[in-house]
Structure 1
Amino acid sequence: MHVVATAGHVDHGKSSLVRALTGTDPDRLAEEKRRGLTIDLGFAWAQMPGAGTVAFVDVPGHASFVPTTLAGVGPVPVALLVVAADGGWMPQSAEHLAALDALGVRHGLLVVTRADLADPAGALAAAREQLAGTTLAGVPAVACSAVTGAGLPELRSALAGVLAAVPAPPADAPVRLWVDRAFTVRGAGTVVTGTLGAGTLRGGDELDLATAAGVRRVRVRGLQSLEQDVAQARGVARVAVNLRGVDRGDVTRGDALLTPGWSVRTGVVDVRCPGGSSGADGEPEPLPARVVVHAGSAAVPARTRPLGTDGPDLLVRLQLAAPLPLVLGDRLLLRDPTRHLVLGAGVVLDVRPPALRRRGAAAARAADLHGLHGEPDETSELRRRRVVRGADLRAMGVDVRTAPVAGDWHVAPGLLEQVAQRLAALVAEHAAADPLQPGLPVEEARRALALPDRALVQAALRPPLRVVDGRVVAGAAAGELPPRVARAVAAVLDDLAARPFAAPDAERLRELGLGRSELAAAVRAGRLERVAEGVVLAPGALRLAARELAGLPQPFTASQARGALGTSRRVALPLLQALDAARLTARDPDDRRRVLAGAE
């Protein structure tokens, strides 16, 4: 299927032309028929030789209905620009052409209607002159009369040629269907219509419905295309989508049905747009402080914030009154509502721009955007964003081809090696500042490196760095002690060699310089075994104690245990508690204990 939108001044014969081509009146409202004036979007279709099925979106030509016109033209790739032979080029002709040019519509046909009422040559020449320099420059032109039928065969032939040159959109592209109508069908529920520009819709699909109020997941209950039930529809196509569980009041023109995860619903975008004529200083003229942004069938007021210039173009931040589902490279039509003037297109450069809080941030942002034209390039986006999830890149419209470095995280080329070098320096600095600590906590490293996820710290590890118990250490650093502490621990172990359960008392520990930090470091390094606060023994002391106590008559008392182990009450009681906690001994109700089977 091909979808074609009409454009042109009011009362220049757009609807009559569509009726002549399809045999269907696109004006569907009673008021439209009474006034002979298109007010809302109209739709009609027909089979055309050489073109197949062609659906027409007929738009209003009156200045009062420009937002409705743009809602119909926005998602459509081909236009019929209609100029009446007896009317010539008119204000809405110019505004519609400016809109088509801003939207980048390159496929179209210039049609001079009412050729039975006046010589079409003058109107044709004037229109040709107006099209020069726009995206529709050089399109085929046909003069015809919807009343007499003269020129209609030539029009059909020329249109078939234009449509043959339109590239077919990818069937596997993400769906973004802008809603242009929403209504209720008895027995079916809520139905929305729109022009499917690319991708494939199927019955049963789950989609995101993006509205001004938010995003919700919906399911396609049924599909129609040109009033026929279909199992699936591929772009480009006019489709009617029956949504399950959606009230009519929940959806309106300008909302969108989306493939989940394939666009960004954003209220702030940075764009490149034409600056218009230059001022006295040669700089492009700025945009008005307030504009209306047209995207697809949506029209949203926005405030503009100038960032800077890039050649003849303006770099501008748009703060939208309501969020829109956008991707990089989208063309947003900007319109001045006070002057009823199409200002041009804003090409989306960033759908997730950073906040501008500091003095000079706007100028720095303009420098960051310099040279960008909206092409969704993975390498460029990675260099600008440094670290980003692959899912976020795809939602922005970027074709992700590189492999993630951790989870779904992608990083800029060369960044991981820089992070690895900085991480090594941080670990060394931490060890020098506090040699008793076992290493740099991973969370502390993440914050210092400004990384969004601990997994990226792990990805940046290079030998001899490794993670031990949630800390980044250098090689065997987790088992190493400063020389002074190592000598003191060796002295403790010498003391314990003859009497393994005679733990050094506080005075002996002070004499050796072993405070709480030093003892904790020795325990973490596996050089000592902590029994209680201030009570340390040699590694393996619990197992050794269980073997010694196994030689006593079972069960035994604390006093018997103290004698068998050759130690003091200060050590024996916490040692017995530690044996209980390690499930090497069990305590009876009478406070006697027994060694459990296998403990010895």
Structure 2
Amino acid sequence: MKSVTIGTAGHVDHGKTALVKALTGIDTDRLKEEKERGISIELGFAYLDLPSGIRAGIVDVPGHERFIKNMLAGVGGIDLVLLVIAADEGVMPQTREHLDIIQLLGVERGVVALTKVDLVDAEWLGLVLGEVREYLAGTVLAAAPVIPVSAVTGEGLGELIAALDRAVQEVQERPAGGPVRLPIDRVFTVAGFGTVVTGTLVSGTVNEGDTLTVLPQGITGRVRSLQVHKQKARSARAGQRVAVNLAGVEREAVQRGNVLATPGAFRTSHRLDARVFLLPAARPLKNRARVRFHLGTAEVMGRAVLLDRDELAPGASAYAQLLLEEPVVADRQDRFVLRSFSPLETIGGGVVLDPAAERHKRFRPEVLDRLRTLESGSPAEKVLQQLGAAEAPREVSFLAAATGMPPEEVTRQVQELAAAGRVKVLPVENQLFVLDARFYDKLKQRIGEILNAYHREFPLREGYPKEELRSRLFPDVPARVFQTLLQALADDGLVELRGQAVALAGFGRVLPPATERLLAQLAALYREARFQPPGWKEAAARLKIPPEEAGEYLAYLLRNNTLVKIDGDLIFHAAALREAQDIVVAVLRRQGEISVAEVRDLLKTSRKFALPLLEYFDQKRVTRRVGDKRVLLKK
């Protein structure tokens, strides 16, 4: 069943609360002061069962100018407005301000109730109807039905309910999938249950037992129980008014303006990029003017930094960065309202383009181009913009969050862009990481330059260690993603992957002649020494190899299995090792066992070499020590 929330709007004492009670039987004035003064101060809540079977939540907001901030806390999550205008007074100041707010928040549908018709005659009613129609022309409610009603006599209530039912069926349902986001408008405690928060669920589905986070504090709690329209429920979905009983969260730690959300789904931020609209009746807005920022149920002080001008004229709009004094939870395309610091009046609003923006310098064409793309670019342009600004592979979920598009739509765009050669896709397990094709080409050039310089400095090394290269280029990119990127470079023929190193394709196949000669001389020196090899420092000194270069030669010969290090600094030629093993095995097959002394004499060497050789054969599972002897290991 569709979930819809209706919000009232209108001037103080125009009969909003009385009308809601007449429609629903619920008195939304719950405070003693409200009863005494006869006006709504705080938000009130009710529900209405419509003929179609839809149960609509109703948020009854205060109309007095002093309580506009309370009104704003209630209308942020509504789908449909019930604009209330008293027939005996007509359009009044808060009528205008409330409708301005409704338009700024992007509420596109509504019904107008012309209340208190029992207090006026037919002629006066006709005049007021004309005035209302004239006022509504050019607004989002220009085509809205205007229903004369009386909460006292019941006149017009049936027609009003029918009009609301028709309007509700035209409302697009909010997404029940995705992360939970509940702007909190009330916090209280219930004896024996603990902390309860209420609000209109903007997105997602809440279930009993879910773990949710209160932002911006970052407090985590468990959903102990739920109520929807004062009835116990196992789950609540987007569009519904919901009360959430939270376990593990103290009442004092939560307040109106906080957001209950899926852990990790939203970031808090002090800085937002936005398109800001100034109402025609407002005064010009100067750069860095102090404003009251209203988003969802939150009210935060901040400054509006105009990015392309020094002053915003009434009725105009501009790109701006909002610098807020407290962190807020926002998402792309969120609507907000701006009120002046003093006097307290609604001056405009806007749309969030980047909910966690970096600080910008003003009048920068690249900044303005980026905001234009965020605001009105095609899905492909938005993906390319994010990739163009990135200097590392980006995963589809990152791009979805950055562009405000569903992950499946981002995946489709990425696949189309890859087919057109505009992006490079790196499949990593069940994820897709993406680079702009231009960045990928620059990356190939840069890696080529890095490896070429490395090979010149270290011609005998196998290649640049992969992990060092990752730390140099993309320290924040997981190793598995970097490995996939290297494989893509290898498939393109730029590099070769050699174990834990990466080299330019073809590197090392041909060494400089002088280097080849020295390597051959070192190999010959150890081959000729057979079973009494020199220490490495001695060998390098014989061939006049500088100490700072000797290690490179040794690493090369060991890596290519020309030489083998068997114990500490003891190095043998690989052919000499095979020869020694063949001699020892042949004797063991004849006589069954052999001692260190016998090996020493057989190989015409010393115990210094004979014992390490036998221990090496033990390690290689050729022989096995039994007492002071070795025997052939049976396989």
Same fold (TM over 0.5): yes
Deviations 1:537-579 (A, max 9, x none): 323655554554564896745x765544344677667767766
The answer on 1:87 being equivalent to 2:89 is: yes
For the pair 1:214 / 2:218, whether they are aligned, the reply is yes
Q: Could you state the TM-score of these two structures normalised by the residue count of structure 1?
A: 0.86
Cα displacement (A) at 1:262? 3.4
Partner of 1:295: 295
- Matches of 1:225 and 1:494, distance apart in 2: 87
Does the CA-based 8 Å contact 1:84-1:123 persist in structure 2?
no
**Stretch of structure 1 that moved more, 570-579 or 117-126:** 570-579
Distance 1:479 1:278, change over 3 A: farther
- Counterpart code for 1:307: L
Residue matched to 2:274: 271
Is 1:44 matched up with 2:51?
no
- After superposition, residues 354-433 of structure 1 pair within 5 angstroms as 354-356=358-360, 364-373=366-375, 377=379, 380-384=382-386, 385-386=389-390, 387-396=393-402, 397-401=404-408, 402=411, 405-406=427-428, 408=431, 410-414=433-437, 415-416=439-440, 418-433=442-457
Q: How many pairs align?
A: 589
Is 1:2 equivalent to 2:4 in the alignment? Answer: yes
Change (3 A) 1:467 1:153: same
SS of corresponding position for 1:405: strand
Distance 2:407 2:234 in 1: 31
In structure 2, relative to structure 1, the CA distance for the partners of 1:117 and 1:277 (3 Å cut) is closer
How far apart in 1 are the matches of 2:324 and 2:70?
19
- Cα deviation, 1:311-367, whole Å, max 9, x if unaligned, reads 9532222233333332222122222232323233332222333355xx779664334
> What amino acid sits opposite 1:191 in the alignment?
V
Corresponding residue SS for 1:38:
coil
Report the equivalent of 1:246: 249
Are residues 355 and 556 of structure 1, via their aligned partners in 2, closer, same or farther at CA, if it must alter by over 3 Å? farther
Shift of 1:79: 0.7
The change in CA–CA distance for 1:114 and 1:406 in structure 2 (over 3 A counts) is same
Give yes or no for contact 2:63–2:71 (8 Å, CA) kept in 1. Answer: yes
Separation in structure 1 between the aligned mates of residue 207 and residue 349 of structure 2, nearest angstrom: 33
CA distance in 2, matches of 1:304, 1:540: 78
The residue that corresponds to 1:319 in the other structure is 323
Other-structure match for 1:458: 483
Rounded to whole Å, the distance in 2 between the matches of 1:98 and 1:239 is 27
Residue of structure 2 equivalent to 1:18? 20
Deviation at 1:100, TM superposition (A): 0.9
Match of 1:328 among 329, 332, 344: 332
C-alpha displacement of 1:478: 6.7
Secondary structure of 2:428's partner?
A: coil
Greater shift in the superposed pair: 517-526 or 18-27 = 517-526
* 2:193 maps to 1:188: yes
Unmatched runs of 5 consecutive residues or more in structure 2: 412-424
Aligned residues of 1:306 and 1:317 also touching (Cα < 8 A):
yes
1:107 aligns with 2:109: yes
In 2, the alpha carbon distance for the partners of 1:60 and 1:141 equals 21
Q: TM-score, normalised on structure 2?
A: 0.82
Equivalent of 1:467 in 497, 508, 514: 497
Matched, 1:565 2:603: yes
146, 158, 161: which one pairs with 1:141? 146
Q: Which moved more, 1:169-178 or 1:534-543?
A: 534-543
Q: By how many angstroms is 1:529 displaced? A: 2.0
Amino acid at match of 1:489: L
Aligned amino acid, residue 140 of structure 1:
P
Cα deviation for residue 95 of structure 1 reads 1.8
Q: State yes or no: 1:225 paired with 2:260.
A: no
- Aligned partner (choices 159, 165, 174) of residue 164 of structure 2: 159
Unpaired segments ≥5 residues, structure 1: none
* Matched residue SS, 1:372: helix
The one-letter code of the counterpart of 2:490 is R
1:520 to 529, 544, 555: 555
Distance in 2, Cα, partners of 1:459 & 1:179 = 44
1:469 deviates by: 3.8
Task: Flag the 1:275–1:90 CA change in 2: closer, same or farther, 3 A.
Answer: closer
Q: CA RMSD in A?
A: 3.6
Q: 1:82 to 1:249 in 2, by over 3 A?
A: same
Task: Using the aligned pairs only, state the percent identity.
Answer: 36
What are the Cα deviations for residues 79-109 of structure 1, in whole angstroms up to 9, with x where unaligned? Answer: 1111222223222222211211111000111
> Which residue of the partner structure matches residue 262 of structure 2?
259
Single out whichever of 164-173 and 494-503 deviates more from structure 2. 494-503
Contact 1:585 / 1:593 at 8 angstroms: preserved in 2? no
Alpha carbons 2:271, 2:355 under 8 Å: kept:
yes
1:509 to 512, 526, 540: 540
Q: Is the 8 A contact 1:383 1:412 kept in 2?
A: no
Task: Say if 1:41 and 1:68, in contact at 8 Å, map to a contact too.
Answer: yes
Q: 1:500 aligns with which of 506, 530, 553?
A: 530
Distance apart, 1:448 and its partner CA: 4.8
Deviations 1:405-445 (A, max 9, x none): 33646324424455345433432332133312321222443
Deviation at 1:375, TM superposition (A): 7.5
| 3-state SS of 1:160 partner | helix
Secondary structure of 2:318's aligned partner:
strand
Structure 1 residues 378 and 341, CA gap change in structure 2 (3 angstroms)? farther
Pairing partner for 1:346 from 335, 344, 350: 350
Q: Distance in 1 between matches of 2:377 and 2:180?
A: 19
- Distance in 1, matches of 2:265 and 2:367, equals 25
Q: Distance in 2 between matches of 1:9 and 1:596?
A: 103
Query: Is the contact made by 2:621 and 2:633 (CA closer than 8 Å) also made in structure 1?
Result: no
Aligned to 2:514: 484
Q: Which amino acid aligns with 1:289?
A: A
